[in-house]
Every structure is written in C-alpha cells, then in structure tokens.
Structure 1
Amino acid sequence: MGDMSTFGPATDLVVGPGFKDHFLGDGGGNSALGGVLPSDVEGRTVREITFTSDVVEIGKFPAHDYFHDGSLYLLDSPGHCVGHLCALVRTTNSPDTFVFLGGDAAHHCGEFRPSAYVPMPETITPNPVTLQDRNIPFCPGAWFEDLQTSRNRDPKEPLWQPAFGHNMDEVLTTIAHMQEYDGDDSIFVILAHDPALRSPGVPFFPESINDWQERGLGKELRWAWIGDVMRASKE
C-alpha cells in the first residue's frame, strides 16, 4: 500500500489473490484505513496474480516467476490483508543469494525470531544493546529464557505473537513459512517496518544491495531488534 500516483499510469499495480474483489469490487474491504485510493488505480492496469497456473513451490510458498528467468518470484503470503504478497529477489548467481521482501507478513522481527531455524545465539556481535563499543559481544544468557518463561512462552519460539491481521490463522502460517527462509544464510529476510533497515550501513536506492551477504548485513541486522526491546524494558 502506498501512493501509487507517484508512478506514471504506464506502471502496472500488481496484487495478490482476491485483491480486486475485496478492495475494488463488491467485497466491501476498502476503507480509508488500509484501503485503496482512486489515484492508486485510475488509468492504470491492475494485475492480480492468482497462483492457479504457472506456479512453482519455493519452500512452502506458492511462487510465481514474474519475469520467467528466476530473478523475481512473487509469493502468495496471505494473512495481514487480502492479496498480501511477499517477494524473493535474486541478488547474485554462483553463489545464489536472495533478498526476501516480507512486506507486512510480520510487523516486528520478534514475531518470527528466534525459531527452530534461527535459535537465539549464545553471543551476538555486533552488540545490539550498547550504542558505544559494539564489538563487545552481547550474551543473552538466561535473559531471554527468563523473559519468555515469565510470559508463558517457549524460549525457543519468537518473542511475540502477532495481535492483528485480516486472517490470524493465515498470518501464523505465513510467518511459519517465512521462518524457513530466515534459516537459510543465502536469504536476507527484511520487513517493511524493520527500523534496523535505517542503519547507516544499509544502502538505499539508487544504490545496490546485491552485495548484502558480502557486507554482512544479514548477520549484522538479524538481532538488532533485541536492543530496542531491552532499552524499552528499562524505560
């Protein structure tokens, strides 16, 4: 969702299953909050990916090879809203690396980390807690386990469970599928609302992010959210 009017009418709006009926038709899902503005669709083609044909499965997500060359896969990832899509974007060949564009599949990294694929490490570098010497490793120790136990949550599971979405069962299923991607070191999982992406070392358009693995961005940002949680707990 955004201001599509910043793109000319020659730019198609690509959406997921059920979007047209829900937001543009008789589905009754359009509203000022999270809805579609007339300027988003007027004069442009709205292409709905239905995932009923020309579909492959990557992990547990139905995927549409958008350019038919393996460079961009659109992933059917419902839950947050009708027609929600994630994307898997190839960033290098030999070795193959990808960026997983999670959109609103989750709203905080603590909603899908830690997991069976990405357990809480014994030490974390760079240190997500201190803003000074980040080379001093942070040792979660019993902190996270005690925190989760006090909240009647499994220490091996994410800090939080999402509290809202169009379909909560689908939200949790999409997150579970995303966790499998997150456990692959060749995939950099990012969310639309992850504040760590504003870090100075993260390139912004028109810079390229193809060398994210070489830069170590996946490792550097994976646990950055812990610092926010710990600082907030002391306020």
Structure 2
Amino acid sequence: MTILNAGTRRHTTWAASAPATPDWKTRSICRTGEMSDDFFSTSTAATKRARALCLGCPVIVECLNNQRQVDDTIYRWGVGGGLDPDQRRALELEELLGHVPNLGMARVLVSPRWLYQLKSLRSRCRSLEDLVAALREDGLIVDEVTVRVAVWWSGGEGARMARLAPDDRRSWRQQLRDDYTGVVLALHELGARRADIAAYLGNPGTNAAKGVSEIVNAAAKAGMELAA
C-alpha cells in the first residue's frame, strides 16, 4: 500500500497491519531472554530499556494487540508491545472516545525512514495536533492517536496536554481546568477512572488524578447547585 506525497508526487510505501500468525511470538526479540526482567520492572531505567528493545522488534504490533487482550481492566503490569501500563491505559481511553490507532502506520513512523524526522518534530511541536499537522505537510495521512502510539514507541511522552508556550505562566492545574475540562468530564461520563483519565492526558500519578478529581467534583457541585 502507498501514500501519495502531495507535494512531491512521491509515494511512500508502508505495510498495513497483517493478521497475527500463530508463531508470531517466536519472532519476538524478547524471547532471547536478554534483559527479560526489564519488561516486568517498575524501575524507570528498566522500563526505558525494555521499550527501546521493543522498538526494533518485528512483531511489536502483534505483541501490543495481544498484550491489550490480556490486560486487566484495572490492573496492568509490565511493558508489552512497546508500551508501559499507563500508556496502555491511555490507549484504552483513546478508543473509548472512538480514536482507534492505525498500528501499521505507527510502525512506519518509527521505521528507519521516518524515525529521525519524528524525533525531530516531537522536540519542536508543543502538541500532538501540531505534530500531526507537520507530518501531513510531508504528505502522510495520519491522525493524532496513531502518531501518539508512534511517539510512545520512539521513546517520547506523547501527552495529550500540550506543552505551554514560554510566555504562558499557567500552572499545570490551571491549564487542565482551562483547556481540558471538557474531555475530562466526557471520559468521566463514559465511566473512566480518574487515575486513567490522568494517564490519558499524559500525566499519570496521584497529583494529576487529584487535578482530575477537582474538575469532576466542581462539576458535580455546580450541577447540584443548579438543580437546587
């Protein structure tokens, strides 16, 4: 399959996700046993090493699909398919909102042909929206959740919350209230846990979950006052 680059009339070849074959696990890099403990460690350094190993794995797409099938709704553990537990939580909520990634295209974005450009763009762009726009200028047909997976695979944060401009002095909580109240409440209405909403935004952890709770509680209070 090819994607036409509108600017140069050049074709970029990429392979779509093929159905997993029964023996896909035999082709995975992690089966060698090297650094196998890193895939189940909570250490930041170990997780980074495991994800770096996944980047060069020929069956990263099959592995991610398989890992997501075995992930528990609440409890997730270890690196699977190149993503850590919080990233897989975020992906679950992306799909809850109807955003389904094209993993075949994400794989292309981290291939030797595009990886350097992706890393360069992610350092310059302050948001996923900006990153998608830049890639589309080069003729790639991509969407935000597909690019988000590629950014994760390439070692980036891929946060949904945009990086603030240098002259923007708002706190993280203020930015959350100003720019992301709508999506927080939408996910809450869909039944998402507050900790998972924080992971979706790209800020997993207790502090971020408290920020999400503040928005949900404020909305509930406003609703009760309006009803009264």
Q: TM-score, normalised by structure 1?
A: 0.24
* Structure having the larger proportion of residues in helix: 2
Q: TM-score, normalised by structure 2?
A: 0.24
